[in-house]
Structures are given as C-alpha cells and as structure tokens.
Structure 1
Amino acid sequence: MLESQINKFLSLPELKFTKKRNLKNYVIEFECYKTNEFEVCPKCATKSYKVHDRVFVHIKDIPIRNKLIFLKIKKRRFKCPNCKSVFREPIPGIKKGFKTTQRFRSHIRWCASNFSDLKRVTKQLQCSSWLVYTAFYEQLKLENKKWQNEWSSTVGVDEHSFLRNSKSHSTEFTSIFVDYNNNRVREAILGRSMDDLENSRIMDIKGRENVKNVVMDMSGSYKKFVTKHFPNAIITCDKFHVVKLFNHALNRIRIEVMKHPYFLKSRNSPVRRLYLKNHERLSFSERHVVRHINSLFPELKEMYKFKERMLFIYNIKGFKRARKAMTKLTDEMAQSGRKIVQSLRKTVVKWRREILNYFRTRLTNGRTEGYNRKAKLIQRKAYGYRNFENYRLRLIYDCR
C-alpha cells in the first residue's frame, strides 16, 4: 500500500519506486526504474527489446516540506535491431538532457512569482541562479500559451515607458492591449508607432472583427491602427485625457499671467490645486479665493470657465444632449482670441466623434491605466528589464 502511494505521488509516469535513502537531514533520494518492455528507436521508429546496458542518472524533483528530493533513475540503453543505433530510453516528465523534472521547473515559476527576489528562490531550492532564470521564463512562455484566445468585444489601448535607449538617449515605450471582457492584458509590444504596431504579434491574433469597442487616449497612431485593422470597432476617447488637456491649458495660462513669485511655485502650489479641482468640490472659502483671482486675471477666468464646462458635459446623461453641449462649448471657444484656446479647440473638434462616443458606451481607460501601474511595479521590483521578451512574458503572466 505504501509503495503504491509513493509511486502515485512521488514517481513520474511509467516509473516504479524501489528504495528510499536519506543522504542528509534535508536531502532524500528515491531509486526507481522504468517498467516498459520495449522502446521505439528515435531514428527509424522500430521497436527495440534488446537492452544494451544500464546507467544511473540523478534528477532533481520538487521539494517536499523543505527537503530536497532527488530521483536516482536506473535507465536502460536499447540497441535498435534495424539501424543498430544505441539510444537511451526517454522518461515522460523529464526533457532530454535535463537534470530536473518538469514539475520542479514549474515549481521554480511559482517561487519566482511569489518570492521577493530570485536570490531567495535559489536559496530555497538549492539551485543556481542560471537555472532559476532559464526555467522561470521557459515556464512563463508555456503558461502564456494557455491564454491565446481570440479578440474580445472590448479592448483598451495605452502605453507606458520601458527603458531609455543608450544610443539615442530617447525613451522607448511599450504598448499594451487590455482584454476588458476577461480582465487581463492580451498583448504587449515594443513601440507605439504605426509601423511597430503593424509588424508585431497583434496582427497574428485572430478575431479582429469581434472587437466592438476600443478605449484609448488621444494618440493618432493608435487611432489610425484601430481604424484600419479593427473595422467593426467604435473608438472611445478616455474622458480623463480630455479633462487633462483642459487642465494643462489652464495651468499654462495660470503660469503665464501670474508673474508673482508666490504663484510660480512648483506642483505644491495651493493655487494650482484649487484650479485643477472641480468647482463643485471646493469649499466656500476656496471658491471665494478662485473668484477673487479670476477677477484679477480675465484670461484665467475664461479658461477656467471652459474647463468647468467640459466637466459639466461629462455629467450629462444622453448622447444628444451631450452633443449639443459640446457644440455650444466649441462655438464659444472659437470666439476667443487666445492661441492656446484655439489650439485646444482644434484638438477637441478633431476628436469630437471619439469624445462623444463615451456617452454611447460609458467606457473609460481606467482598467488599462491600472495595468500600466502594475507594469511599472513589475519594472521596479526587477530593477528594470533589458530583454523586452522577458518583460512581455512577465507582464502578461502577472496581469492574466
């Protein structure tokens, strides 16, 4: 009974347990052998029953209760009756030439995902850092193959910084595509230009006609790519990025008109915080301060009014009412003589359809921004990545 249980839980398929040996306090060795009567020649696929000789191999297996497990396998070498070649019998669960089992390499993936650093993994499993590094990304590649499904109906697109190029000293970006239906990162590619997107793995994923909604920021390359390769998709511009445009223009005017050193402080300026905050969330005293500053600077008052009107539009219910309010806002902005207001109006008019699509779909890019935050956390934990393929595997696995 004990032997059958050990064969079931410890041994690999087609292996039979024969002996247990305690080498040290934390090392256990199990002797076992394969029970098949014949093997098939890997060269000519002929059955071979003749045993040429026998050898012992030591294979490291998954630890049990912090004790290292080694399998001492008595392997046979067969001689093919057809081509006369000598070959060693294969064992399921151990790749040819490997000194570790597949479940041990899968255990490395689990440890590397849950421990704080790879040094702890090497100490826990008593193996080299090279084995941990190699087995970890090998297992990530196998795990990510399980999630290679078609495109879903809703997709989010965004980018985040990857590393700084040592030659051009420019920042390289990673574009991520988020599956909203399954709540995971579907794919990550290096670059954000049209050529980078068209020459990536994105083109190999099937079911692009299934995508009905795409949420993104105001990126011209993303818009061009989605329009060309996702024919049935409705593009929705994220409302956070639209409000951010108005806040950026408002802050530029504030810095321009307020020449007093008190107003030219950095991001900690209390005036800056008051102007970026929604007017409805200001206290009575804060509203009084904003009104007083606006009375002194008409340019700032005008841009502040446009920003608050944009926030009000996003609280409107109904596509038609929002469209009328958007038209009224852009008409009022057209009457302004300021260059920064005209530039902002031009951008809003260019993305008018995508901005108004929010009132049809009510989708935001918040989930994609959350995965961007997680991607940056992965980079910080690893102290940066040099190999993008390894970073891509880790990102898709942790955000599955």
Structure 2
Amino acid sequence: MSNITEILLQLKDKNITFDHENISECDIRHKKSLVLYGKLTYTPDCCPNCHATNGIVKNGTRQSQLSLCQISGLNAYLSLTKQRFYCKSCQSSFTAETPIVDKHCFITNRLKQKIMDTLTETISETYIAKQHNVSVHTVRRIVDKVASTLKVNHNTQLPQHLCFDEFKSVKSSDSAMSFIYCDALTHQLIDVVHDRKSSTLLDYFARYDTQTRKAVKTITIDMFRPYIQISKQVFPNAHIIIDPFHIVQALNRELTKHRVHVMKALHQNNRRLYNKMKRYWKLFLSNTDTLSSYPYHRFPLFDWMTHTQGIVDYLLEQVPELRATYDVVHQLRDALHNRDFDRFEEILIWAKQEAISPGLRRVLRTFKGYLPYIKNTFIYHHLTNGALEGINHKIKVLKRNAYGYRNFSHFRNRILFMCKLYVPYTVPSTSLVA
C-alpha cells in the first residue's frame, strides 16, 4: 500500500497502519472536517509498571481522535485505534504509545510545531487558536512551556557588545517601562526584565560572574542617564555609546518644534507662506546633499519653476529666525554622518553665539554633558540600537494585534518565543568594530 498519507501528513510511525481507503467528511464542532483512520499496535518490550518481559497479552483497544494540521483548508483528525495490553505479572493495563502525539494528549506534535511556527509572528494567540482549531489555553501552554527553555542562563557568557533599551510594559508590571537588551553584532534578543529601575537592573546583572561582566566591551544606549550609571558599576571595562539615531532624533525634534512655532505666527498674517512651510516640511529635515539644484520643476503653491534646494532657500529667506536653528541642526547631522567628532564639538561651541531656538539650546547642553559617550558614537559607528528598535516595533505590533497583555510573565514568554525560537547561525564579524 502506498505511504502517501504518512508523507503528506508527516505521521511517520511504523507501528501505525492507515486505512487508505477510508477517509470521511463530517461536521465536527459545526465545521466541515476530514477524518482519517488508523490502527496502532506493536509487541511491547516490557511492562511499564513492573518491567516484566513475559505475560503481556492484548486486552482490547481504545479509540482516540487526534487533531492534525489542516488539509485543503479543512480541519483534519486522525481516528486512531490504540491497542490495549494487560500484564499478568502485576495485573495492570496500559495503552500503546506513539511518538506522533504525547501521552494523555490529543493534539499531534506536528500540529504543535505548526502552532509554534505561527507564534513567531506578530499575531494574537486567539487568532492562532482559531486558525488551528485548538483552544486559546492550548496555545498559551505551548508558549509558556517552550519559552522556559529559551530563558537566559546566567552561567553563560554575555556578548562583548550589548544594546540597552526599553518599551511600554503591561499593567501588572511594577514600572511603566520594561528593560530589554540584545547582542549588538548578531542582533539576537537576550532577555527582558520587568522594569528599568536601577536597583532591579543591578540585581539582575549581578547574577553574572565578575569575569563575564568584565568581558563586555561596549554598551549602546539612548540618553537615559541611569543606564550610564548602571553600565559603569556592572561593566567596568565597557565603553558607553550613545545611539546615533537618538542624537539625530533630538535635533530633528527641536527643528520641527521651532518651525511649527514660527508657522503659528504666520497663520493669520501670511497664509500663503504658512501653506508653503506646512506642505514642504519634509524638506527641512532632508539631508542637504539630497536637495537638488537641477533640473527645475513646477511645484504646488509656487508660481515659478524651482527645485527642492530653491524651496528651502526661499522659505529660510522669508523666515530668517529659522535659519540659525536650521544651519546648526544640519551641520551637526553632517558631522555625525561624516564621523568628524572634532567638527561636531566645534559646532557645539560655535552655536552658543547663534540665535537658535531655546529648545535646541537645551539639547546642545545635553549633548555637552554626554560628550565623552557621543565621542564613542563616532569611534564605534557600526554599533547602533537599530536592531533593538526593530524588536521594540515588533513588540508594539504584537500588543496592538492582541489588544494588549495583562500578565507580564506571559507577555515576556511570548516575546522570547517570537524572537528566540529560531535563531539563525551567524558568525559575528569583529571587523565591524573599531
């Protein structure tokens, strides 16, 4: 008989004999389903109770209906007739077992694997349960069981280059923000901590031995000062790096705030100029080398042919109070892009005499306080928090699709499951690090 059923369903057990001629269609739980039939029998080696090898006889059968993966969009089941055995030595009975399903379980391991594959996506557990015809509690049990094997082992070595960040936590957590960190080279998530308080993180990292913590070379963070204090205490040999994205973000935010402030004054007096600044706001944030000076085109709201560089020059000429803030922001961004720290430091000093916005002046004072760590940003320019920001985005999408989580422990398990179940084998390239 052909083994096409075993191959298609991946139910490879030589002790199961499938009835290839008998496949029925019926309604199960008000859904059209396919039911396959098979029989499980073999000669047991010994009694699982007393380990006697003789005196074991067949003692009827037991019917089990096992859930399979869907076939052609229909729910599928295997009606498996299991052989029962009786041991004359200890007068106990037992049922034949198969590796395709766990003992006392009616969901095949292949279906569990399919659920695990789906759980790595940003999909709610309720939707996954509905798609695989199982209960939500079954999906949650799979998450919690498998995630327990993915949790960090504090006896292992830490990566030499780490990224620190945080994300919005759940209501059951003690803090509004939860801490998350990953490997800066392989971009693999390491662990999630329920809050980002200094005392909590100091206790957490103290679980690693001293030699492991001394081996950490760099830590990339945003401008959250407690991370600096923690890093100095826990990782004495690590260089602290400010993530370049947060530097650019702080500059762009103040430029945008100042532009909006200027536009409010124009709203009543010069509506045409207001509309131009509102429509072409992205050009103020564009890199200067991406603005074109040729060819000329027609642009909405302009009565003459111009180009993107001409639009920016015209708007800054009409609103001179925005010019100084615009120039300082873009010169700092260019210095960061060109990895010229001396130029970056020079602009911070020179900007004191410029008529920049109060918000930008505050940001520049912050940069001066973080200047030693910003210098490391120029040295280790390949180490950023970009991968960790991507993980945080997946976490936000997961929370949105699931309409939120209440239990932090289960939420953490789902994050570990989503990010650590399938870890690609990568060889870290030390050449990326200065």
**Which TM class, normalised by the smaller chain length?**
0.7 to 0.9
Aligned to 2:182: 178
Gap runs ≥5 in structure 2: 26-33, 292-307, 421-434
Contact 1:247–1:276 (8 Å) recurs in 2: yes
Give 1:190 shift: 2.6
Structure 1 residues 219-275: Cα deviation after superposition (integer angstroms, max 9, x where no partner): 112222232223332221112211222333344445556651529989x93475454
Q: Separation in 1 of the partners of 2:212 and 2:60?
A: 52
Contact 1:112–1:136 (8 Å) recurs in 2: no
Aligned to 2:331: 309
Amino acid across the alignment from 2:347: L
Corresponding residue SS for 1:283: helix
Contact 2:47–2:87 (8 Å) recurs in 1: yes
- Calculate the TM-score normalised by the size of structure 2: 0.70
Corresponding residue SS for 1:262: helix
Aligned to 1:276: 285
Q: Count the aligned residue pairs.
A: 378
1:105 pairs with 2:112: yes
1:157 pairs with 2:156: no
Give 1:23 shift: 6.5
Q: Separation in 1 of the partners of 2:80 and 2:152?
A: 29
1:141 aligns with one of 138, 147, 159: 147
User: In percent, how many aligned pairs have the same letter?
Assistant: 20
Alignment CA distance shift 1:62-1:333 (3 Å):
same
Give 1:313 shift: 1.6
2:375 aligns with one of 338, 343, 356: 356
Q: Separation in 2 of the partners of 1:201 and 1:91?
A: 45
Aligned to 1:383: 403
2:252 aligns with one of 227, 247, 255: 247
Q: Separation in 1 of the partners of 2:142 and 2:409?
A: 13
Contact 2:152–2:190 (8 Å) recurs in 1: no
Contact 1:28–1:68 (8 Å) recurs in 2: yes
1:56 aligns with one of 47, 62, 76: 62
Give 1:116 shift: 6.1
Give 1:92 shift: 6.1
Q: Separation in 2 of the partners of 1:366 and 1:151?
A: 20
Q: Separation in 1 of the partners of 2:259 and 2:237?
A: 42
1:329 pairs with 2:335: no
Give 1:57 shift: 5.1
Q: Separation in 1 of the partners of 2:235 and 2:337?
A: 29
Aligned to 2:11: 10
1:69 pairs with 2:70: no
- Calculate the TM-score normalised by the size of structure 1: 0.75
Contact 1:62–1:107 (8 Å) recurs in 2: no
Give 1:352 shift: 0.7
Aligned to 1:289: 315
Give 1:117 shift: 5.9
Give 1:73 shift: 1.8
Give 1:38 shift: 0.8
Give 1:213 shift: 2.5
Q: Separation in 2 of the partners of 1:335 and 1:68?
A: 77
Contact 1:336–1:342 (8 Å) recurs in 2: no
Aligned to 2:47: 39
1:344 pairs with 2:348: no
Give 1:359 shift: 1.8
Q: Separation in 2 of the partners of 1:310 and 1:70?
A: 70
Corresponding residue SS for 2:387: helix
Corresponding residue SS for 1:224: helix
Aligned to 1:225: 230
Structure 1 residues 12-35: Cα deviation after superposition (integer angstroms, max 9, x where no partner): 5xx723563837331012111343
Contact 2:181–2:190 (8 Å) recurs in 1: yes
Aligned to 1:195: 199
Q: Separation in 2 of the partners of 1:17 and 1:167?
A: 49
Q: Separation in 2 of the partners of 1:166 and 1:224?
A: 27
Give 1:351 shift: 1.0
Structure 1 residues 47-105: Cα deviation after superposition (integer angstroms, max 9, x where no partner): 334559666251515347453223322243557x6xx6957468464444323343332
Q: Separation in 1 of the partners of 2:150 and 2:186?
A: 14
The answer to which structure, 1 or 2, has the higher relative contact order (CA under 8 A, 6+ apart) is 2
Gap runs ≥5 in structure 1: none
After superposition, the CA RMSD in angstroms is 4.3
Give 1:40 shift: 4.4
Alignment CA distance shift 1:213-1:365 (3 Å):
same
Amino acid across the alignment from 1:289: L
Structure 1 residues 322-354: Cα deviation after superposition (integer angstroms, max 9, x where no partner): 343233233334557986565333311221111
Q: State which drifts further: 350-359 or 269-278.
A: 269-278
Contact 1:211–1:233 (8 Å) recurs in 2: yes
Q: Separation in 2 of the partners of 1:284 and 1:356?
A: 34
Alignment CA distance shift 1:303-1:137 (3 Å):
same
